[in-house]
Amino acid sequence: MKQQLSSATVFSSMTIFEMFSSQQRRLLSIISMSTAGKVSLDRLTDFMHNTEVLDGYSQKDDMTAIVQTERPIHVIGFSRATFSWSGEAQGLTTPSGQEFLLRFENELIFRNNSINLIIGPTGSGKTSLLMALLGEMHFIPSGPDSWLSLPREDGIAYAAQESWVLNSTIKENIIFGADFDEQRYKKVIHQCGLDRDLSLFDAGDRTEVGEKGLTLSGGQKARVTLARAIYSKAAIILLDDVLAALDVHTSKWIIDKCFKGDLVKNRTVILVTHNIAMTEPIAQFVVSLKDGRVASQGSLSSALSQDLTLAEEARRDAEALHKTDEEVDVDDELIEKPVKKSDGALIMTEEIQEGHVSWPSLRLYLIAIGGNHAPLFFGAFFGTFIVQQGLSTVQTWYLGFWASQYENHEPSEVNVFYYLGVYGLLLLVTFLLYIASFSVYVFGAIRASREINSRLMKSILGTTLRWLDTTPTSRIIARCTQDIQSIDNAVSMLLLSLLQMTVSMIIKFSAVLVFTPMFLFPGILVAILGAWCSQIYIKAQLSVKREMSNAKAPVLAHFGAAISGTTSIRAYGVQNTFIQESMSRIDKYTRTARTFHNLNRWIDIRIDALAALFSASLAAYLVYFQDTAAFNVGFSLTLAIDVSTMILWWVRTSNDLEVEGNSLERIQAYLTVEQEEQSTKSREPPASWPTSGHLRVERLSARYSQDGPKVLHELSFTVQSGERIAIVGRTGSGKSSLTLALLRCIYTEGTVYYDNIPISSVNLDALRSRITIIPQAPELLSGTLRQNLDPFDQYDDATLDDALRAAGLFSLQSEMGKGRITLDSTIASGGGNLSVGQRQILALARALVRGSKLLILDEATSAIDYKTDSIIQSSLRNELGPDITLITVAHRLQTIMDADKIMVLDAGRIVEFDSPKNLLSNPKGKLRSLVDESPDKDTLYDMAEYREEV
């Protein structure tokens, strides 16, 4: 078009282009956020459309109708029905790839107002039967006379095999939202045998149980969930093996006081159990299962006639539950004793910081981003960026200078190509410098993210078990997800923007002062006013952001608890209560989030007003009070508008950085949590250690925190290599604490020698890699069975098969067909597609594969039937090498009566430690009282006698 440049055209166009560029950046940001939002919506849509739902919640029009024949309204049972974990059709597989169908080829009707037992070997479908009753499995009718009936009008109560408790107090877990009846509550506590347990807690029933009930033993959790079911006024009570984790005394107490008590009278109880001998006196109707089918139903005698093993276990029932137990009387005395109360708090309250983000938190990021050569990094970044911003300002001035040439010279004298070439060169150099500075920064930001994430992971993985116990998982997840994400994205980008704007503002404001020195004072005034507004804003914003961050963890925690206890929640019919609590927590979070965004609008309006005032005053001054060349006026006004706009964004960005810096604070706090002892080269044991399982303990005391009470008191004992040691005792006696002390998982005093080397002189990783412990609730990983047994791919299939055989899996599956578990079977996360007993068997096999010289079983077979338990114990006797020491913590006396020695603990002290025969010869002994209480008393005496002869 061959138009001449003028200052008005140049600077007006630049302002418009800058506005257009700003809107383009905003549009790109909106597109990015919209894309992320669409991905989230697609995932939600996919989840809601494709997630398999239970029959009772399905809205499919073609869902198979459940046709029921005319039955009395209060019937509980099934008729000609099949149930599967997958809802497509018969023959579908579980997530493990195995087929499991629960089949009822005829009618099964439980007795109302009676105690019904469900018995059978591990993996026979006992838990599945309860799940089918509760509607947690898919109902596949076999014909028009198929039906499922569980009347819910008068309420359902349910206690799961893996006890589910809320992260709340013991009392709140028992009440579970029901109306509080003090008399009924005290009676429930007494009948469930919780009096003595509550007396051991300083806060009594106000003690917080922690996440997943970490402050309670397995037996205590089982009795709390039992108490919840008994306290409820539900007419039907479903109990899934609640006696498995209890010792003989406690089981007898539950049978006598609870199941025979007035609170269970006229209520229908369906009890899954392995303890046939103990529960025989209360059994009014018995269902025996085998391979997902009903083997027998009716009386216990009919069930035993179908299974000789069960008959052998129950043959001495008559004398079982009619004896007076001296130690039970002690419990009656204990409940009258006054108990010292405290607030019972376990979970640490998350601190809400006040004021600005601390310097150590910012320093953490600056050191991480600088790396090992911080001066070189910051020098390269600031050097290239300052030159780039200077050249960017020169570009603006140069356009004005180019336009002024048309005012001072004839148009024909202006060499357009020359000025265009110089301007193009400035653009190219500026662009290259920007790429260089941005690249330097991005590499530093990536380094910082990796460094901080690595330190966070190392700190969390290296912390003490006590810290993990007192810190909710949801908080840890929040640090590792939202806070790390904030550092990866928001913090790094905000810091870059702040540095860029700071340098750019200084350069541009300095250029304005060169042409208009008088505006130093108005500029300072605007800066002061902006700082004043930002101080008001940031004080409120930081507090709101911290509240918002802290309000998110309870939402995640409640959601996680609800997911893990979905079956119990649906059984009790308290979905609405949990939904309301969830909505309440979400509302608290959204209120803080809304306040957070409202504060942003507050600061926007005020900073915009200050920016407009600064630009307008500069324009008025240049037009009316100063005689300046047009291009200088345009240059100054353009830079002034840029600076005034940057003031807004600088305040916003600095405040946002302070707010997002809250993530740095939260991570900084987790980098300084208490740590376990670090490994050093000087503490590495010999490569051949240990050569035997010899164990010597001298005056061992232990506590869970440095200032906490002792849970073990000066224990001293010796275990020879290859010996089988059993540990028994009441709940809270210190059995599990002793196993943790041997692994140095808790604070200890005294000396423990493992193969003649003090364990305190050995690195923790070396010690724990050479001792194997199997907990009551083993963890299994998502993957194949082979990967669970051998995660590092160190052993061949023959070795793994030998371990499975020794653990009893093959004996358990000897009569199974296509449902057999093999090395290629898929294991769901947490072993969710296996029964609890099967998980314990696989955990035992995994331990056998490791071949440690010291093997500790902490109630490792509590959820396994007696037949399988006997197979496992026989395998352990025959398969373990002569130099492998076995320490077994168990409630089942049959499991440990053939041990070389039995240790009886009480209140953290050894009260008895000798061979079973010698301990049984003491008429006032603790072990003797346990054996005399057992229905298999004669068998246990014979086992002890036989062991002594061998």
Overall number of domains in the chain:
4
The residue with tokens 């198979």 is 64
162 and 199 in contact (C-beta within 8 Å)? no
User: Could you tell me if 540 and 625 lie in one domain?
Assistant: yes
Judging by DSSP bridges, how do beta strands 710-719 and 695-703 pair with one another?
antiparallel
**pLDDT at residue 311 in the model:** 64
Nearest Cα to Cα of residue 770 among 861, 847, 699, 675: 847
The answer to whether position 498 is within a domain reads: yes
**pLDDT at residue 751 in the model:** 92
Running DSSP on this structure, what letter comes out for residue 256? I
The stretches of 179-289 forming alpha helices (DSSP H) are 182-191, 195-200, 218-231, 248-253, 276-279
449 and 369 in contact (C-beta within 8 Å)? no
User: Could you tell me if 434 and 367 lie in one domain?
Assistant: yes
The answer to whether position 318 is within a domain reads: yes
The answer to whether position 729 is within a domain reads: no
Judging by DSSP bridges, how do beta strands 285-290 and 115-119 pair with one another?
parallel
User: Could you tell me if 319 and 427 lie in one domain?
Assistant: no
What kind and span of H or E run contains 527?
helix 520-564
| Per-residue CA distances from 80 to 99, 152, 270, 407, 650 (Å) | 19, 21, 20, 101, 73
Nearest Cα to Cα of residue 7 among 420, 408, 404, 405: 404
Domain boundary among 642, 671, 700: 671
The residue with tokens 């290239």 is 384
Neighbours of 860 (CB within 10 A): 26
Whole-number average pLDDT of the chain: 79
User: Could you tell me if 540 and 618 lie in one domain?
Assistant: yes
Distance CA 243, CA 226 (A): 10
What kind and span of H or E run contains 820?
none
Residue 700 phi, psi dihedral angles, 5° rounding: -80, 120
Helix or strand or coil: residue 720?
coil
C-alpha 307, offset from chain centre: 42
Residue 345 phi, psi dihedral angles, 5° rounding: -70, 135
**pLDDT at residue 633 in the model:** 65
**pLDDT at residue 863 in the model:** 58
User: Could you tell me if 195 and 311 lie in one domain?
Assistant: yes
- Supply the DSSP string of 327-384, one letter for each residue: HHHHHHHHTTS---------SPPPP---SSPPHHHHHHHHHHHHGGGHHHHHHHHHHH
The answer to whether position 574 is within a domain reads: no
Question: Listing from the earlier edge strand, what are the strands of the sheet with 854-858?
Answer: 771-774, 854-858, 885-889, 724-729, 901-906, 909-914
Please name the amino acid found at residue 202.
Answer: D
Helix or strand or coil: residue 944?
helix
Domain boundary among 823, 851, 879: 851
The answer to whether position 870 is within a domain reads: no
Nearest Cα to Cα of residue 229 among 280, 167, 178, 283: 178
Please name the amino acid found at residue 286.
Answer: V
| Per-residue CA distances from 552 to 167, 447, 561, 587, 706 (Å) | 16, 28, 15, 11, 31
User: Could you tell me if 456 and 327 lie in one domain?
Assistant: no
**pLDDT at residue 330 in the model:** 36
Handedness of CA 58, 59, 65, 68 (dihedral sign): positive
237 and 261 in contact (C-beta within 8 Å)? no
End-to-end CA distance of the chain: 112
The answer to whether position 272 is within a domain reads: yes
Which CATH number do you get for residue 163? 3.40.50.300
User: Which residues pair with residue 156 across a beta bridge?
Assistant: 236
The answer to whether position 166 is within a domain reads: yes
The answer to whether position 773 is within a domain reads: no
Distance CA 346, CA 353 (A): 21
Helix or strand or coil: residue 320?
coil
User: Which residues pair with residue 695 across a beta bridge?
Assistant: 719, 754
| Per-residue CA distances from 281 to 8, 116, 122, 321, 323 (Å) | 103, 12, 23, 8, 13
| Per-residue CA distances from 633 to 60, 513, 621, 627, 699 (Å) | 73, 12, 10, 9, 88
Domain boundary among 671, 696, 728: 671
User: Could you tell me if 283 and 423 lie in one domain?
Assistant: no
**pLDDT at residue 327 in the model:** 39
- Supply the DSSP string of 475-493, one letter for each residue: HHHHIIIIIHHHIIIIIHH
User: Could you tell me if 314 and 376 lie in one domain?
Assistant: no
689 and 771 in contact (C-beta within 8 Å)? no
Contacts of 112 (CB under 8 A, 6+ apart): 74, 75, 76, 268
Please name the amino acid found at residue 788.
Answer: N
437-456 per-position pLDDT tens digit: 899 999 999 999 999 999 99
The stretches of 371-491 forming alpha helices (DSSP H) are 374-408, 416-461, 465-470, 473-478, 484-486
Tokens, residue 233? 């006024």
User: Could you tell me if 513 and 402 lie in one domain?
Assistant: yes
| Per-residue CA distances from 501 to 441, 484, 487, 496, 522 (Å) | 15, 25, 20, 9, 20
The pTM for the full model equals: 0.63
Helix or strand or coil: residue 418?
helix
Distance CA 875, CA 772 (A): 17
Rg from Cα positions in the chain = 36
User: Could you tell me if 530 and 487 lie in one domain?
Assistant: yes
pLDDT under 70: residue ranges of the chain: 1-12, 14-15, 18, 22, 51-73, 87-99, 306-358, 406-407, 409, 411, 414, 518-519, 618, 622-637, 648, 731, 810-820, 836, 860-868, 871, 934-936, 946-950
Nearest Cα to Cα of residue 181 among 254, 221, 232, 257: 232
Domain of residue 466, residue span: 353-552+598-671
User: Could you tell me if 11 and 111 lie in one domain?
Assistant: no
Please name the amino acid found at residue 445.
Answer: A
Distance CA 169, CA 160 (A): 19
User: Could you tell me if 306 and 389 lie in one domain?
Assistant: no
